[in-house]
Amino acid sequence: MATTPQPAAFGSTPWGKDWVRRVEPITVIRPNPMLPRARSLVRNDAVSLDHNNIGEFRCVVSAGKRSETAVLALPRYSAAERKSVLRILARHTRGGATSGDLPDEVHAELVASKLSPVPDSTEASCTCSGRIDPCLHVTAATYAISLIVDQMPTSALAVRGIDLSAATTSRDVLRRWMPIGSLDGSAFFG
C-alpha cells in the first residue's frame, strides 16, 4: 500500500520555530494570505539555498516564470557573545556539534541568556518589485530556512559567526577508526 508523503513540518524544533515566528507571529491581527503560497513554494522545491555566508542566508525562489533572490541578513555575535555561546555549546555537546545536530537544551539556554539564534534585528531584501513587506519570496525563504535549521541546528549558529570547530576539542570527539597496521593480527584473530 502506497502512502502519500506528509507535507514538511515547518518549525518542528525550537531552532526552526524561531524562523517560523518571523512570518507567523503569535500576536497577529489578521491572517496573512501569502503564507499558504509561500509554504507551497517550499514544499514544491521552488526555493533553494543559493549560499550561506556568515551573516546572511541567500535563497533563490522560483515563483511562476521568474526567479527572485531573497536575502536574509543577520548580525554576527559580538566577541563576548561568541565566548558565551561557545561555553554553552561546550557544556551540552560532546562531539555532537560536528554532526550538525544540537540538543534543544542548547537553544533554551541561548534564549535564556539573551543569545537567541534568530535576533530581533534581521534585515530582508528581495529582487522583486513587490510592495508588501515581507514579500512572498522572503516569506518562502524564511520557511525554507526553518526547514534547514530544523535539520541542522548548527547552521543557525554558523550564520551568526560561531566556529563550531572551536566548540569541540579533539578530546571530545570519539576515535572511530584506527590504522589497520596498529592491530596485532594474532591477538585480534586469536
In a domain, 175, yes or no: no
In a domain, 182, yes or no: no
In a domain, 53, yes or no: yes
Place of cell 561557545: 86
End-to-end C-alpha distance for the chain, whole angstroms: 49
> Helices marked H in 53-135 — which ranges?
79-92, 104-112
The answer to whether residue 172 scores a pLDDT higher than 50 is: no
In a domain, 172, yes or no: no
Asked if omega into 75 is within 30° of 0 (cis), the reply is: no
The answer to whether residue 179 scores a pLDDT higher than 80 is: no
The band of 182, judged by pLDDT with boundaries at 50, 70 and 90, is confident
Question: Into how many domains does the chain fold?
Answer: 1
In a domain, 169, yes or no: no
The answer to whether residue 74 scores a pLDDT higher than 90 is: yes
Q: Which residues contact 145 (CB under 8 A, 6 or more apart)?
A: 19, 49, 57, 59, 72
The band of 144, judged by pLDDT with boundaries at 50, 70 and 90, is very high
In a domain, 136, yes or no: yes
In a domain, 87, yes or no: yes
Residue 148's domain comprises: 14-164
In a domain, 22, yes or no: yes
Distances in whole angstroms, Cα of residue 137 to Cα of each of 6, 11, 87, 94, 119: 23, 18, 36, 38, 20
pTM of the model: 0.80
Degrees, nearest 5: CA angle 179-181-187: 110
